[in-house]
Chain A
Amino acid sequence: MTAPQHAYVFTLTAEELKKTIRAETFEKGSPRSIRKNQKFFEKYADAFQPGDAVLELASGEGRNLTLSKNRSF
């Protein structure tokens, strides 16, 4: 079974992500991406409790995807 050569996962808590969004810390991130993520958490905020784990599955084919590049939260 083949698998991507470049795969990264990282976890943050949902609370940390929400803090990050509020602070708009990742200034280099794409505004569209920030809006998408804000929209998601605004919509589903009640579903999350402090300490909930969040996992990103990131990958790239020859690209060096990073938190800033991949933006996310």
Chain B
Amino acid sequence: MSRQLLEQVKMEALISQGSFTDLSLFDDASIKLIYTQSSIQNARTMADVEMIFQEATRVLMPDGFFVLWESRVPRHKDANRKRRVAYFTEEEMHRLGSDHNFTIYSGEQPEDISSDSNRVGGRKITWTIVFRKILV
């Protein structure tokens, strides 16, 4: 379906099936933006998530963006983390960023672009967070 849509809009893209814990297909510092949308929450363990962030750090350009739209609260009956990570707490999200050389560029602070995030009972249930790789 993805390929059909790409043909429909006359765009070319590399589509690859594999594991997002292994981005060896891509060179170091070759990507400007990585984004996820309710995807890395499907990683089975936090160790996998750590590997995703490691790989993101490697392939992103020095000022690259890592944009995540992921769950921030348990939303499913299987969200007990026996089968998958399922959601990210604020502490986890902040730690993942700082441990992997990212700064929070937007999303939570200082600027919030998450005003249209899903809310339940007035509480945000989705991360809309923009990490930017720290220049070293």
Contact = CB atoms under 8 A, between A and B. Distances in A.
A29 to B, nearest CB: 10
A70 B69 CA distance: 11
Given A2-B44, A3-B44, A32-B116, A53 B36 contact: no
Contact of B40 (A8, A12, A25, A57): A57
A64 B14 CA distance: 18
Given A4-B43, A57-B39, A57-B40, A52 B20 contact: no
B52 A57 contact: yes
B101 interface: no
A2 B13 CA distance: 27
Majority SS of interface residues in chain B?
A: mixed
Majority SS of interface residues in chain A?
A: mixed
B20 A36 contact: no
Give the residue among A25, A57, A58, A68 with the most B Cβ atoms within 10 A. Answer: A57
Contacts of B69: 36
A3 B21 contact: yes
A11 B20 contact: no
A27 to B, nearest CB: 11
Interface string B1-20: 11001101101011111111
Interface residues of B, number: 50
Given A2-B44, A10-B16, A61-B84, A40 B67 contact: yes
B37 A33 contact: yes
> How many A residues touch the partner, as a band?
35 or more
B103 interface: no
A10 B14 contact: yes
Interface of B: 1-2, 5-6, 8-9, 11, 13-23, 25-26, 30-37, 39-40, 42-45, 47-48, 51-52, 59, 63, 65, 67, 69, 83-84, 106, 113, 116, 128, 130
